[in-house]
A and B are shown apart, each in its own frame.
Chain A
Amino acid sequence: MASPTSLRILPLAEFKPAAASRAWVSIPNPNGLPLIATATSDKTVRVYSLRNFALHSKLEGGHSRSVRSAAWKPAVKNTGILSIATGSFDATMGIWRRRESRFADSEEKEIHAEQAGDDDAFEVEITSDGAAKPAPRIQNDDSDTDDEWEFAIVLEGHDSEVKNVAYSPSGQWLASCSRDKSIWIWEEIGDEGDDEFETIAVLQEHTADVKCVSWRKDDGNGEVLASGSYDDTIRFFKGDDEGEWSCIALLEGHEGTVWSLDWEPEISQKMFDSEPETSESASAEKDYSPRIPRLISASADCTIRVWTKVPSPPPPNKPSYFNSGIPSTMRPAPSNETWECTATLPKAHDLPIYSVSWSKKSGRVVSTGGDGKIVIYEERTKGRTKVGGEIEREWVIVGTLAGGHGPYEINHVIWCTRFDSGKAEGGEEMIVTTGDDGAVRAWALKQDPIVPLPEGGSAS
């Protein structure tokens, strides 16, 4: 693996124009489009362009209070329709659609423009973005051929503020959670545009506000939903073959509200593949495997924890009569999983941590919170602490920036692919933060060149 590095977090650009009041969260489009959606307390969602950091479009008129969260609908192929789900303090959710024909054909000329751009042009861009209030850059001239965002459906059901909404990676399910302690699973039925949603499940295991939900990709066993709550716990939910949803795990340990969750990306799972003891189990077909992604959680207790599934014991040998002829509806619920906290990231925050994000590209983790700090962590191999023992890993802080939004709290941080002309390589990542000042900011990472560590070899 790569040796630990020291990273500098550098201001790249500010998305303009910013909201005048608190912005809650910014979610990049998961379908490869250069767009990011920001939910704000001014009851709107702003969609910004990742190419030029300017406003692309706005979702307004659908909610009567803060829009707390937004989720892009994952698409298998580009149908020319953008779709966003919103969750609001007004206790409703919205499904929004917009016809977007220009991405397919504009792609090519944008690429040419990028190749023309050089570093000098990039520097100018940074400066102009940091200036007081430059007028937003002119939109593509064909923008008026696209429709406005249409508030297609309102989803009602929650009794109080909807805190978070999330589409499952397959796009099949939409999960929502609320101060009313419940999690709802919704499914869009019929064809795209039929505007019909069905409630698949109402999950009420949490004993207080559910603050966040996060889906795990289907690894062959179905998509799993994780939730974090004001009751300090994390729970996992899964649907069985019959479509019955139930809680399959309870993760306890945090001593404060769980504000944010994220699942381990494949890159991180693979990072330690070369280790002998894991390569063996990779080929072996087992009921469980160390490949089950870990979960990371951030809390008001100022800790970030990594959770790992405890291998389940082999199924007990039941008498044969136990299995025979029992109708499927009588079968026991999906077996409970046991998860344990296997790591706590180095402490860097001294106020509630509101957001954590695990990079799909680098495997690094970034966090932020009430103290306005942005902190980047990297997991690295520590080596064996005893002969023949397991190779141990540890998390280290590789980058820190204080006052990311000046004196304001930062509500959200996420890794995001760069599309602007200043990017050095395809797929390069940046960090996007969203703050109480209404601002959404992009940050680039630069490896610090000044630290040639004299002692070598300890990391690999």
Chain B
Amino acid sequence: MGLDNANPIILSASELPSHRERRTKKEASSKQYVVRDLLTGPSYASDPFMADSDTDSDDSNVEPIDEQEIYDLIAPISDPEHPLSLESLGVVKLQDCHLISPPDLTNPSALSRVLVELTPTVSHCSLATVIGLGVRVRLEQALPPSYRVEVKIKKDTHSQAEEVNKQLADKERVAAALENDNLMSILRNMMKPCLE
């Protein structure tokens, strides 16, 4: 199979949004998720059936997640075609990571909405779906379950953006893809840099 884009433009490190040093405990544990849970999906222990039951004792200490943190989670993902990160290829950009938090952060059921818009390296990139899947899976596993993740192709950057967007938004297709061994090995390779 020939490369879709044999000579991608690579951004130099100085052009990239500086990563924060801050790494919360949550972030550290999320790294293990990628390996352990890529197949099994999330397995949180808390039982929200009775709203009054358990509440995290250290809630107040955790800083709320922001766009930079979302960017940091997906920036190192490697392109399935080149041994380069999505950030150095300009596929993910900080200004294209959007987050809407609920007004009441203390309500464990209140949903946060994450929207990431991807810029494919070429407008016919056949791997856009796989890259999008990687971004969605990475975020769904690293973020708390109250985060609803939407991954889209940035407007006017891909010839089949609508098709790709619809696939990435389809929960059932995403779930089935994660039970596909071939796709999983590609995703695992893409995620490797996230663990370093």
- Chain A residues within 8 Å of B, Cβ to Cβ: 11, 14, 20-22, 41, 65-66, 68, 89, 130-132, 161, 163, 179, 209, 211, 230, 257, 300, 351-352, 354, 370-372, 402-403, 405-409, 436-437, 439, 441
Contact = CB atoms under 8 A, between A and B. Distances in A.
Contact of B179 (A11, A20, A66, A370): A66
A391 B54 CA distance: 51
Interface stretch (B43-51, B58-66, B75-83, B131-139): B43-51
A403 B109 contact: yes
Nearest to A402: B109
A132 B47 contact: yes
Contacts of B111: 371-372, 407
A407 B43 CA distance: 13
A423 to B, nearest CB: 20
Given A41-B41, A65-B179, A405 B148 contact: no
B17 interface: no
Contacts of A132: 47, 53
A6 B93 CA distance: 47
Q: Size band of the B side of the interface?
A: 20 to 34
B40 A439 contact: no
Contact of A21 (B41, B47, B169): B41
Contact of A22 (B110, B144, B169, B175): B175
A179 B148 contact: no
A441 B49 CA distance: 8
Contact of A14 (B42, B44, B49, B146): B49
19 contacts: A14-B47, A21-B40, A21-B42, A66-B179, A130-B49, A132-B47, A209-B173, A257-B166, A351-B148, A371-B111, A403-B48, A405-B48, A406-B47, A406-B108, A407-B145, A409-B171, A436-B145, A437-B44, A437-B48
Contacts of A437: 44, 48, 145
Contacts, number: 88
A300, A371, A403: residue with the most chain B Cβ atoms closer than 10 Å? A403
Nearest to A14: B49
Contacts of B49: 11, 14, 130, 405-406, 439, 441
A406 B109 contact: yes
Interface string B147-191: 010000000000000000010011111011001000000000000
A408 B163 CA distance: 26
A407 B53 contact: no
Contact of B173 (A21, A131, A179): A179
A440 to B, nearest CB: 11
A406 B49 CA distance: 7
A438 B78 CA distance: 31
A131 B144 CA distance: 23
A89 B41 CA distance: 15
A436 B40 CA distance: 12
B175 A66 contact: yes
Contacts of A371: 111, 148
B14 to A, nearest CB: 39
Contacts of B145: 406-408, 436-437
A372 B110 CA distance: 10
Contacts of A65: 176, 179
B172 A163 contact: yes
A406 B48 contact: yes
B41 A407 contact: no
Nearest to A300: B169
Given A21-B41, A22-B41, A257-B170, A406 B175 contact: no
A230 B40 contact: no
Contact of A406 (B41, B46, B148, B173): B46
Given A14-B49, A89-B176, A372-B111, A352 B171 contact: yes
B51, B169, B172: residue with the most chain A Cβ atoms closer than 10 Å? B172
B44 to A, nearest CB: 7
Contacts of B144: 407
Interface in B70-89: none
A409 B175 CA distance: 13
Contacts of A161: 172, 176
Contacts of A436: 42, 145
A317 B148 CA distance: 58
B109 A407 contact: yes
A370 B111 CA distance: 10
Given A211-B172, A230-B170, A409-B171, 6 more contacts: A66-B175, A89-B179, A403-B51, A403-B107, A406-B48, A407-B146
A316 B146 CA distance: 58
A21 B175 CA distance: 12
A402 B51 CA distance: 11
A364 B100 CA distance: 34
